[in-house]
Amino acid sequence: MIIKNNLKGMEDLATAIIVCDKDLTIKHINPSAEILFELSHEKVINKSINLFFEEIEFFKNALNQAKSKKSSYREHEYFIKTNQNKIVCVSFIITPIEHEEFDFIVEFIQMDQHLRVAREERMFIQQQANSELLRNLAHEIRNPLGGLRGAAQLLEKELDEQALKEYTQIIITEADRLQNLMNKLLTPHQLPVYKRTNIHEVLERVRSLILSEFPEHLKLTRDYDVSLPEFIGDREKLIQAVLNVARNAVQAMLQNNKKNEMNLDFITRAESQIVFHKKKHATAIRLDIVDNGPGIDSELLDKIFYPLVSGKEYGSGLGLSLAQNFITQHNGMIDCSSTPGKTTFSIILPIENNLKINEVV
């Protein structure tokens, strides 16, 4: 990374950047570095780089290697200590720069951030591939399915015995069930209708639906940050996404026979300087859906967003896959953490999502 004249371009970077002069004095750090090291810009300016590198001789040797080779020096899995004495594993890159005031920059990337970004990328690629496969599969199945149903109806008209008509009714019923499944597979590909949306209106709608579907033994708690602004989104698809997650949570609790202590929490908060989909977002809405069910098996946790994968005996495995599709259409992400007694689905929606209002008037 070469810097010529100004430092403004660093402010929006997701990676932590420190700029130093030839005397190893810190001249600038970006907001991501402030967050990583838990120190403000004012606290570190004109301090020595050994504020971050206790092994200063190691750092000097690395810097000399970078200067002698006139290229960047990279170190993997280096442990640093933050201002709050928290140990963080990072990779860092030292790059000499040509500037009258500065001599080099150091770029830090948290290893857990590396892993999270790689995981998000895998999930996104897998989702795109699955979505395309299922869409093509659904189209291929729909036509012969319609023919199968039509043939069963014609055959039923020719039959006199009621016992035989029961068989054709089974064919028609199962064909309708498969048709409904195909429609669900094709739903994410319908064009979204974007308009100004309030996340709490979405949650209140889901709340009323969940309480009407599961009226007994369910305690649904709301913990809202009412200061959250509106954003551009497809209200109906967001409702469906949240409903799928919430319904899954309640069904998991019911399956565990916890009818007398089923707790479901809707929690909203603002997130700042958050990184996902390889981009740093200044502000985002975070929605946590928390249940006290049995938890998700660790072997299933990395697969729950795949289509046709379900932890329920009679589940279709489409609910969470559809939810992920709908959230991705809003440039957001959905993730899950789970232990016995507490499962949290976190939905992150950027407020500035580059979507355009296309509401039909």
What tens-digit pLDDT sequence spans the chain (361 residues)?
Answer: 444 445 666 777 778 889 998 888 898 888 888 888 888 888 889 888 888 777 788 888 888 888 888 888 888 767 777 666 667 778 888 988 887 788 898 888 876 655 555 566 666 666 666 666 666 777 677 778 888 888 888 888 888 888 888 888 888 888 887 777 677 666 655 677 889 999 999 999 999 999 888 877 889 999 999 999 999 999 988 998 999 999 989 988 887 765 567 899 999 998 876 766 656 677 889 999 999 988 888 777 777 777 666 555 555 567 788 888 888 888 888 888 888 889 999 999 998 877 888 765 4
Q: Is residue 128 part of a domain?
A: no
Residue finishing a domain among 44, 78, 112:
112
Per-residue pLDDT at 56: 81
Q: Is residue 117 part of a domain?
A: no
Residue 328 belongs to domain with CATH number: 3.30.565.10
Q: Let me know whether 196 and 96 are in one domain.
A: no
Spatial strand order of the sheet with 333-339 comes to 218-223, 262-276, 279-291, 342-350, 333-339
Total number of domains constituting the chain: 2
Q: Let me know whether 200 and 82 are in one domain.
A: no
Q: Is residue 165 part of a domain?
A: no
Q: Let me know whether 79 and 205 are in one domain.
A: no
Q: Let me know whether 212 and 338 are in one domain.
A: yes
**pTM of this structure:** 0.58
Residue finishing a domain among 112, 143, 165:
112
Q: Let me know whether 91 and 196 are in one domain.
A: no
Q: Let me know whether 219 and 96 are in one domain.
A: no
Residue finishing a domain among 112, 132, 166:
112
Is the separation of the CB atoms in 281 and 333 below 8 Å? no
The full DSSP string for 26-68 is: EEEE-HHHHHHHT--HHHHTTSBGGGT-S-HHHHHHHHHHHHH
Rounded CA separation 308/321 (Å):
8
Q: For residue 86, give its domain range.
A: 8-112
Q: Is residue 158 part of a domain?
A: no
Per-residue pLDDT at 70: 83
Q: Is residue 172 part of a domain?
A: no
Q: Is residue 42 part of a domain?
A: yes
Q: Is residue 72 part of a domain?
A: yes
| Rg, C-alpha atoms of the chain | 27
Q: Is residue 153 part of a domain?
A: no
Is the separation of the CB atoms in 94 and 62 below 8 Å? yes
Residue 80 belongs to domain with CATH number: 3.30.450.20
